[in-house]
Amino acid sequence: MPASSHAASAREVTALLNDADASELEALVARYGEDPRKQVRHAVASALRRRDAALRERERVEEMYRLQRELGGDGMVLGVDEVGRGSIAGPLTVAAVALPASPMVWGINDSKQLSPARREALAARIAEVALAIGIAHVEPASIDAVGMSAALRMAMAQAIGDAGVGPDCVLIDGNPVHVHPREKTLVKGDARVACIAAASIVAKVTRDGLMVAYDRVYPGYHLARCKGYGSAEHIAAIREKGLSPIHRVSFCGNFLETPPLF
């Protein structure tokens, strides 16, 4: 190894490797890859693992866009996904999102695989680059009146319409919904297709924001934390306080001493 490689201390080399981005990493690994110092060897190994993970992540996102093109073609493709189907309070929310082939939204994924902070950041990026975004909510009273299957079709149709474009293909997560003549469905599509993942993120961030706001209007149900789902503290609050105007009555009969009449 050239003597110049020892000009920097092991601590300095480790700091360089730890702080390097992808464009700098290869040169640093080439320079210090044979360094015999234990601390540097550990830093190089860690940097290589980080590089490999970044490459796998890049390939994962590129595959999501590739499958979007394969299924949807090169025209206007809307991805559609819902959130709140299993909630006992708050709306069912659906988003429809069209993404361009470029720029790619790096890090995009099924919203359930992302932290709240990451979802917020990605939702902001999606809003910057999306060709179209549509959002629809079906409120609890309507869900009680028509049932979840009809509510889901209603929300998806409204979100597609709200996007304001004429889609050449509508890609939907899950099983056939029969909501659009150019519909295609894919199980686990929110983790496999870029525009469906984008819709899952937009729907989740939008609905979570609503539930945080509802927590201030209807305090005591812990809505900011549970987002309307049936957590133990949420169910305990229903038993103590009864139902609020945003609870789905048809979902909550088991939590009440006197079940509601339908």
Q: Collect contacts of 58-62 with beta carbons under 8 A, ≥24 apart.
A: 58/106, 61/104, 61/105, 61/106, 61/107, 61/108, 61/194, 62/104
pLDDT for residue 257: 66
173 CB burial (10 A radius; 0-12, 13-18, 19+): buried
Dihedral angle over CA of 38, 44, 49, 50, nearest 10: 130
pLDDT in tens, the chain (262 residues): 444 444 788 898 888 888 887 778 888 888 888 888 889 998 888 888 888 888 899 999 999 999 999 999 999 999 999 999 999 999 999 999 999 999 999 999 999 999 999 999 999 999 999 999 999 999 999 999 999 999 999 999 999 999 999 999 999 999 999 999 999 999 999 999 999 999 999 999 999 999 999 999 999 999 999 999 999 999 999 999 999 999 999 999 888 765 444 4
Give the Å distances, CA to CA, from 246 to 88, 93, 158: 9, 14, 20
pLDDT for residue 27: 84
- Let me know: does 71 contact 168? Beta carbons within 8 Å: no
Q: Please, what is the Cα angle at 191 between 188 and 192, to 5 degrees? A: 85
Helix residue spans in the chain (DSSP H): 10-19, 22-32, 38-72, 116-129, 140-146, 148-162, 194-217, 223-226, 232-241
Span 73-214: which CATH code?
3.30.420.10
Q: What token pair was written down for 177?
A: 């919904």
Strands 132-138, 169-173: pairing kind = unpaired
Q: Where are the domains of the chain?
A: 3-69, 73-214
For 132, phi then psi, to 5°, come to: -160, 145
Task: Tell me the HSE value of 221 on the side-chain side, using a 13 A CA sphere.
Answer: 27
In 3D space, the residue among 119, 64, 117, 115 whose CA is nearest the CA of residue 95 turns out to be 119
pLDDT for residue 23: 73
Per-residue pLDDT tens for 243-258?
999 999 999 988 876 5
Question: DSSP code of 261?
Answer: P
